[in-house]
């Protein structure tokens, strides 16, 4: 049985269990709703019919469950309604996700001393599955091993990822006299002396990498760094060169819109000459005095 059909079977099985509280008194037109696109606002309408032979009092409808905040009751003609026998009303449910991934919730319909639950979920398509599961990777770095104080340099790098776009950031840290485990631990570390801020790529192109039929793109960035005359504390850069630490961060437009934090990129061993620590996220370069290093 293919994966998507197994998933659908499981959803149907769960929905049938959740509906055990329903008898023949109140009939809903849909016992489950599957929204196909995990990142699009969609709606679906449910009809509720009284077939009890008597009047039925419907109480306040609600969305409950783990991801209740990502579903919404939009148009509710059933809330606190007295339905006579044979009468129907409708309720419209919306799916407005604020993050990627599979979401599940219940439309809870209480009536008299009973209730009906309608199972709400989404089917994540291959595109969104890939962008959620496959994190971007550092693809190339074009930064000289030594940079002189009081000079400007174009720091270039590229990353490979499956989102339609990314903003990226480069951050430079002065870790002089700091233990490796105590320096450049995060973007906000005190050792930071220069950063690009989140910048847009200057270009992008398709790559040869793919996942589930979706091709990754290569995104290219450049930041012109003006190397300070002196270190942050006012002292001069070492005449033999001061080793600095560089980290790269990235965020997709989708994650940025949902107020998520940027990711610190892992830097593969084939594109960096010197690493700082064992995390694979920090590389070393050298800053020399304005007239160059003495060695």
The pLDDT of residue 101 is 75
pLDDT at 124: 65
Give 10-residue mean pLDDT values along the chain (295 residues).
43 41 76 74 89 93 92 92 94 85 90 92 74 86 97 97 93 91 90 96 94 90 97 94 96 82 91 90 96 88
Same domain, 161 and 73: no
- Tell me, yes or no, whether 139 and 275 share the same domain: yes
- Same domain membership, residue 93 and residue 15: yes
| Shared domain check, 183 and 67 | no
Q: How many domains does the chain have?
A: 2
Predicted TM-score (pTM) of this structure: 0.65
Q: Give the integer Cα–Cα distance in Å for 106 and 111.
A: 15
**Are 154 and 284 part of one and the same domain?**
yes
Tell me whether residue 129 is in a domain: no
CATH (domain of 229): 2.60.40.10
d(CA 287, CA 142): 16
Please tell me the predicted confidence (pLDDT) of residue 103: 87
**C-alpha distances in Å from residue 254, one per residue of 40, 126, 179, 219, 249:** 12, 16, 36, 16, 15
User: Is 139 within a domain?
Assistant: yes
Q: Residue 293 domain-assigned?
A: no
Q: Which of 124, 145, 162 is the last residue of a domain?
A: 124
What is the distance between the alpha carbons of residues 147 and 131, in angstroms, rounded to a whole number? 36
Note whether 108 and 217 are same-domain residues. Answer: no
Same domain, yes or no, for 255 and 142? yes
Please tell me whether residues 162 and 211 are part of one structural domain: yes
- Picking from 84, 79, 75, the residue whose alpha carbon sits closest to that of residue 45 is 75
Q: Does residue 278 lie within any of the structural domains?
A: yes
Same domain, 14 and 144: no
Mark whether 229 and 102 lie in a shared domain: no
The domain of 45 spans 3-124
Indicate whether 264 belongs to any domain: yes
Side by side, the strands of the sheet bearing 88-95 are: 26-28, 42-50, 88-95, 71-76
Residue where one domain finishes, among candidates 124, 155, 180? 124
281 in a domain, yes or no?
Answer: yes
Together in a domain, 88 and 204: no
Which residue has tokens 């001393």? 113
Contact 147/285 with Cβ under 8 angstroms? yes
Task: Give the pairing type, strands 203-211 and 214-226.
Answer: antiparallel
- Asked if residue 189 is part of any domain, the answer here is yes
Q: Please check whether residue 294 lies inside any domain of the structure.
A: no
The pLDDT value given to residue 71: 93
- In a shared domain, residues 258 and 186: yes
């Amino acid at each position: 049985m293919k994966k998507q059909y197994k998933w659908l079977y499981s959803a149907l099985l769960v929905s049938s269990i959740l509906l055990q509280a329903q008898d023949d008194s109140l009939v809903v037109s849909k016992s489950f709703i599957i929204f196909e696109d995990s990142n699009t606002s969609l709606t679906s309408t449910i009809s509720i019919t009284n077939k009890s032979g008597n009047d039925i009092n419907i109480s306040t409808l609600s969305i409950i469950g783990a991801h209740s905040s990502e579903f919404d009751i939009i148009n509710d003609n059933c809330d606190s309604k007295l339905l006579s026998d044979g009468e129907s009303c409708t309720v419209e449910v919306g799916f407005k996700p604020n993050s990627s991934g599979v979401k599940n919730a219940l439309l809870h319909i209480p009536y008299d001393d009973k209730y009906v639950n309608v199972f709400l979920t989404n089917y994540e398509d291959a595109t969104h599955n890939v962008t959620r599961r496959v994190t971007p990777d550092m693809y190339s770095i074009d930064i000289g091993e030594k940079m002189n104080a009081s000079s400007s340099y174009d720091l270039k790098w590229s990353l490979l990822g499956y989102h339609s776009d990314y903003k990226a950031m480069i951050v430079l840290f002065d870790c002089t006299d700091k233990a490796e485990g105590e320096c450049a631990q995060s973007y906000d570390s005190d050792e930071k002396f220069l950063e690009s801020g989140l910048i847009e790529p200057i270009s992008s192109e398709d790559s040869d990498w793919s996942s589930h039929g979706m091709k990754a793109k290569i995104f290219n960035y450049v930041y012109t760094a003006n190397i300070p005359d002196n270190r942050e504390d006012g002292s001069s850069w070492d005449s033999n060169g001061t080793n600095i630490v560089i980290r790269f961060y990235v965020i997709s437009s989708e994650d940025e819109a949902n107020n998520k934090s940027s990711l610190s990129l892992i830097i593969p061993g084939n594109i960096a000459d010197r690493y700082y620590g064992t995390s694979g996220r920090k590389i070393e370069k050298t800053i020399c005095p304005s007239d160059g290093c003495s060695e």
